[in-house]
Amino acid sequence: MATCPQGHTSGSDDYCDVCGSQIAGAAPAAPEPRPAAHPAGEQAAESCPICQTPRAGQFCEVCGHAFDGSATPVRLPVTSAQWEAVTAADRAYYEQVIAEGGPDADAVSFPPYCPERSFPLAAEQVRIGRRSRGRDLQPDIDLSGPPSDPGVSHLHAVLLGQPDGSWMLVDPGSANGTRVNGKPVAVNTPVTVGVGDRIHVGAWTVITIREGTP
């Protein structure tokens, strides 16, 4: 375990898992090794990290994940009422999280002011999390703030647009979990979400799905 300049305990010794700060003395990330050669030109099996579908090309055929790390959105057909995700701070959820306890519960405080922010659901894959310069992560629903919810992972959850216009939510393995309408979401298990549903992440963040202005 390592400690970042902000005092957070991090499972990673290069960049803090909580705030993304570089940890002193961390060596530059080594380049990823090339995949090993396989007989007769065969390639190693690879699955999508979001929905576990076997890879068949540059993008996942089910959720649209880009295997090369690009974040170019694929636009969905515009409907009469575009859906949007509205973020805010939920005091009741925060008190529940603190009551349940945790390694950093005593260090997390509820923000005195947190304005609502709206994010249109205009792509087939909408990432939820906190940006990280060190890891070159820029989520579509960026909860970096201010104020920043320290309980939100850099890639916390992903909203996946479906061909019929509905949406699925997937938690790829966040540190503190995700809840939809109060129920915990199992890792890598898609959950249907719709207008009026409330998604809780981090220590106090609530994301409400709404119909936007036509």
C-alpha 153: how far from chain center: 6
The tokens of 201 are what? Answer: 């992440």
The one-letter amino acid at 131? R
The pLDDT of residue 154 is 92
The pLDDT of residue 124 is 92
**pTM score:** 0.64
The pLDDT of residue 40 is 52
Length, in residues, of the chain: 214
For a pLDDT cut of 90, what percent of the chain falls above it? 49
More confidently predicted of 202 and 8? 202
Q: Where do you find CATH 2.60.200.20 in the chain?
A: 83-211
The pLDDT of residue 204 is 95
Q: Which of 106-110, 119-123, 176-180 has the lowest average pLDDT?
A: 106-110
For residue 29, pLDDT over 60 is answered with no
Query: Region 28-37: what's the mean pLDDT?
Result: 48
The pLDDT of residue 54 is 78
Reported as a pLDDT band with limits 50, 70 and 90, residue 166 is: very high
Which CATH number among 2.40.40.20, 3.40.50.970, 2.60.200.20, 2.60.120.260 corresponds to the domain 83-211?
2.60.200.20
For residue 127, pLDDT over 90 is answered with yes
Mean pLDDT, the chain, integer: 80
Own/partner pairs for 11-20, CB < 8 Å, 24+ apart?
Answer: 14/134, 15/132, 15/134, 15/135, 17/153, 17/175, 18/104, 18/150, 19/148, 19/150, 20/130, 20/131, 20/132, 20/133, 20/134, 20/135, 20/154
